Structure 1
Amino acid sequence: MKYPRLLPLSSALLRVTALPGWWAPWLGPLAVIPRIVYWEIGGDRRGDLMGGLLFWGLAFSILATTGAFMPFGAACVMGGLWVLEGVFYRRLRRFLKPEFAAPLSLFSLQWLVGEFFFGGVPSFTWGLGFADYPFFLSLASAVGENGISLLILLLGGWLWSFSRGWKSIGFLTPLLFLFAFEAGRHQKPEPVASASFAAIQPNIELGAKTASGGEVAILKQHEKMLEEALKEATRPELLFWSETMFLLPATFSGKEGEIRIPRRGLPGSPLVYPASAVRDLLKRVAAQVAEPLASGGHLLVGAHTYEPLSPDTESGVVSPRASSTLAFAKDGGLVGHAEKSELVPFGETLPFDGAFPAAEGIARWVFDSFGLSPDFVRGEEPQPLHLIREDHSVMRLGTAICWENTFERIFRKQAQAGAQAFVIFSNEAWYGLGVEMDQMLAATRFRAAETGRSVLRATNTGITILLSSTGKEIASLPRGQEGVLLGVLPLVDETYRTPYLIWGWVIGPGVALLALLGGFLAFFRGRPARKQEGNEALS
């Protein structure tokens, strides 16, 4: 072949166009074929790197709204992963045929990256583009997004095999039927209760939050929007504000001391507030905002929370900060909180927790440029919020914040702990109104199907949407517009389990670890991969 490195580049283009918001998810399996051909003809690591840079650069083009060179930086960080996929393929190829070695190597690296790379980057999976198809959502209730990804990769491997006249593609049909049968045979959840809600989508520009008087203006905008929406509607039981729209300094700690908040462009000169004054103001404002709710209602907001420091703490030191979900009773009392446990790389945390040279300078640049200091405290894996209703029953509500939307573990653990429904708080104004929203929504559909719980996305600019327990849209607001979504949140029995919650979640780590073990054992096998078969593939 005259230009073999065009093969990984073509694979990158096929794979990125299969992502939500692009063009054709059904091109995803075809992206496997050029990788196999390239590896089988002895393609080198430079070609893999070129393909990785192209794919991750295009996938992270959503970052261009934050800086023209941001996609390039992300591609440089992630691109080398394609080289590792090639290395792993060559190990597995010592004892597996290409149609199995390629899917296993690609899937294993996807799982490892999603779990461990920079704390986990589970975006842009091989199965993500299929979230809009009810058939695949039904399968996801048994095998999850990871299982769908593995199925897509196996399909790609079998297509390569079939193109050479081999018959192993016949194994795909019973495999599909097996998955479909298992996904369809379990009883779909029926709601045992419900809760009326209002979710405000204020469509606020990024600069509005840091403008002079922005806190008060945004507060009044939310109050006015809710007042207009409720003129001809009954008072809701739940009110949701999206991530970081509640701009008051907040704390859930009962400790006395000082809340110290960093200021952009003024390192070492934080704003200082008495912790008791912060708590008092928080309760007064929460009660004011929650006043339109029904008796026994709750206000849930996304906010930054701070740990009080002793007044004796060295000057210039700021309070530890977390991204949190706060739940308030109608009287303004704080009745629950959950901290974000999966932090955005470079936006909320630095690699190795910032323990490397120049970390402080990078953190300061990020804060001065974007208003986010990458030193957030990582919360424990959240448990469902327990909200006491007017009839004294308990509503168990699972929560997630923005980036956590892509982590199945966050939802699985809370569902297993008794969550009856989920709410995601997100602010995606950073990324405009493009494909990032489609990709986040696709991940949400999988979370609904995997857990068998309804999911509400409460966002700043979109997409604010209520999904059923099967991932189907119930109601939504247009992206990029102000609006208040009024609806009813279905609540399932806390003990309900989908097949995915029982056994399907094991597919990801199970298959990946078995493949990794095989790759490790391949180091002790002397027989190299045969390349003659690959040359025949080009003839």
Structure 2
Amino acid sequence: MHGWSALLSGVALALCLPPSPLGFLAPLPLVWLLGQGGFRFGFLAGLAFWAVHLVWLPLSFVALFQTPWGAAPYLPLILAKALLWGLVFGLSRGRPLARAGLWVVQEYLTSLGELAFPWGFLGYALVEAPGRVLASLGGVYLLSLVVLGVALGLFYAWQGLQKEGVILSPPVLGGVGVLLFWAGLWLMPLPAIQASQKALLVQGNINPLQKLEGVSAQETYLALTQRGLKTHPEVAVVVWPETAVAAFPPELSLALEGRELISGLETGDTNRVVRYVDGVITHFYDKNRLVPFGEYFPWNQALRPLYRFFFQTFGFGGELASRTPGQGYGPLYRYGAFICYESVFPEVARHLVQQGAGVLVLGSNDAWYGPSFGGLQHFQMGRLRAVETGRWLLRAGNDGVTAIIDPYGRVTARLPQRQPGFLAGGFGLSSTQTPYVRLGDWAVLLAGALGLLGLRIRPKRAIV
């Protein structure tokens, strides 16, 4: 029975995270997950959660590469993630407070190192709620603590009701207060914000496999930019997505007429974004957080036969070399430009704003997700970087999601996915710093303290 309840709880929680609109239900499966079992329960719940949350991986890779081997990375990834859940549950058996604190610490640890894969954070359940503005205080980790805190309140209310059997008992009244707080996060109003400048975001919708084969996208991006600027001559800056072109066409400078272009540039060794004005590249930024097994190949010598097999199976031929990571964070003049995968790392946008970025610019190539919901999930997570830093976010994707997000996390303009086009919309510049930008991931320290405190509390019988 417990095995099935673990699996069902994991599935239910996965269905509450992006791109699902059911984030308001996230505390409900967490009530059960906080009060149940140890390692085995946590492992099974994690297995079910990650199998659903990351199902886009086999769906996209099998369709993109036209081979069932595209699903090969899926099983070891969800097993590794489930083992982490099992460890957290095993350490915190019978200690709900400890489990909540260790859960957030575990989220933070998955964002560290060269194999970092920071997906599945509970805080993203609030991405569609106005209450996401709390991320400006403590980032996505604070939002995770809020979600878990609401679940803890409901857990203790349920325990109190079982013990006392009185509907108006203090624990139950506390649970009602927790529900009212949670509802407030979803119903609170947000103030209007004015845009002072206008940007043109271009979406080329270029097949990523064709780009690897050397197909040029110059004509596509030049034509879309010319059309967009003709329709919206008041545009101040143009944004092209990640690795949009390998070189800029000679006609581009004339088309821009002195406007700034922020564009991904395919260099071979690095994944680079540049600022281009009047035919000159004035600034550049190289991607620091590389995608494991996509841009960076760990243990290359030991795993060389395995890599060779998959490269040939996927139709790449030969071997793929790791890209060279950037050596630090710095804005392109006033633009805090970062690249694709880096949007799920809060510290990247935070560092760029600390260095003076007045607006965030993200170039992405989510065409690798194919027809799956992976691109939408990636987009929804990256929206919080605008809230955490108090900056507008201009997001240009090769096949989407191309959108403009305001500092409160609202999507103010957006293009349909998987079709070429351009998007003109307003944005503004800011020089202020949010508490999160100044103080960083203090919420993780709080979570760690709660975890240690919970471990010192004598365990109680789990609810059944």
- TM above 0.5, yes or no, is yes
Q: Sort the Cα spacing of 1:46 and 1:151 in 2 relative to 1 into closer, same or farther, 3 A.
A: same
Question: C-alpha displacement at 1:72, in angstroms?
Answer: 6.0
TM-score where L is the length of structure 1: 0.74
CA–CA distance in structure 1, aligned partners of residues 383 and 240 of structure 2: 21
Count of aligned pairs between the two proteins: 444
Q: Does structure 1 residue 470 correspond to structure 2 residue 408?
A: yes
Aligned to 2:446: 511
List alignment gaps of at least 5 residues for structure 2: 63-67, 162-169
Partner residue of 1:241? 240
CA 1:197–1:443: 2 relative to 1, 3 Å = same
Determine the structure 2 residue equivalent to 1:486.
424
Matched, 1:444 2:407: no
Of residues 28, 42, 52, the one that matches 1:30 is: 28
What SS class does the counterpart of residue 236 from structure 1 fall into? coil
SS in structure 2 opposite 1:127?
Answer: helix
Aligned to 1:500: 436
- C-alpha displacement of 1:56: 1.6
2-structure distance, mates of 1:237, 1:433? 33
How far has the Cα of 1:333 moved from its partner?
1.7
CA 1:48–1:99 in 2, change beyond 3 Å: closer, same or farther?
closer
**Greater displacement, 166-175 / 18-27:** 166-175
State the match for 1:252 in structure 2: none
Q: Corresponding residue for 2:122?
A: 126
2:418 partner letter = G
- 2:164 is aligned to none
Report the CA distance shift for 1:416/1:49 in structure 2 as closer, same or farther (over 3 A).
Answer: same
Question: Match of 1:52?
Answer: 46
Partners of 1:323 and 1:339 within 8 A in 2:
yes
Q: In structure 2, how many angstroms separate the alpha carbons of the residues matched to 1:469 and 1:399?
A: 16
CA distance in 1, matches of 2:11, 2:152: 18
* CA contact 1:202–1:221 (8 Å) conserved in 2: yes
Map residues 401-416 of structure 1 onto 2, 5 A cutoff. Answer: 401-416=339-354
Aligned equivalent of 1:341: 288
2:101/2:449 contact within 8 Å kept? no
d(CA) in 2 for partners of 1:370 and 1:246?
Answer: 22
Aligned residue for 2:428, secondary structure, equals: strand
Q: Over residues 19-49 of structure 1, what are the superposed CA-to-partner deviations in whole Å (9 max), with x where a residue is unaligned?
A: 222352223212223323431xxx5x34433
Q: Is 1:221 matched up with 2:159?
A: no
Q: Secondary structure at the match of 1:157?
A: helix
1:105-504 to 2 correspondences below 5 Å: 105-116=102-113, 118-134=114-130, 136-165=131-160, 167-168=170-171, 173=177, 194-211=196-213, 214-215=215-216, 218-234=217-233, 236-248=235-247, 285-295=248-258, 297-306=259-268, 321-330=269-278, 332-351=279-298, 354=299, 357-358=302-303, 360-365=304-309, 367-368=311-312, 369=314, 371=316, 373=320, 375-386=322-333, 396-492=334-430, 494=431, 496-503=432-439
When residues 423 and 156 of structure 1 are mapped into structure 2, their CA distance, relative to the original with a 3 A threshold, is same
Q: Is the 8 A contact 2:50 2:82 kept in 1?
A: no
> How has the CA–CA distance of structure 1 residues 63 and 174 changed in structure 2, closer, same or farther, with 3 Å as cutoff?
closer
Q: Which moved more, 1:168-177 or 1:232-241?
A: 168-177
Separation (CA, whole Å) in 1 of partners of 2:325 and 2:143: 30
Whole-angstrom CA distance in 2 between matches of 1:452 and 1:397: 14
Where does structure 1 differ by over 4 angstroms across 4 or more consecutive aligned residues?
68-72, 166-178, 187-191, 365-368, 515-519, 527-530
- Asked whether the 8 Å contact 2:100–2:145 carries over to 1, the reply is yes
Q: Give CA-to-partner distance per residue, 1:125-183, whole Å, 9 cap, x none.
A: 1121321111x2222222321111111112222222222226457667489979x99xx
Give the RMSD, CA atoms, in angstroms: 3.2
Amino acid at match of 2:272: S
Cα distance, 1:422 vs structure 2: 0.6
Q: Please give the TM-score of this superposition, normalised by the length of structure 2.
A: 0.85
CA deviation after TM superposition for structure 1 residue 90, in Å: 4.4
Partner residue in 2 for 1:318: none
Compute the displacement of 1:226 (Å). Answer: 2.1
Q: Is structure 2 residue 56 aligned with structure 1 residue 62?
A: yes
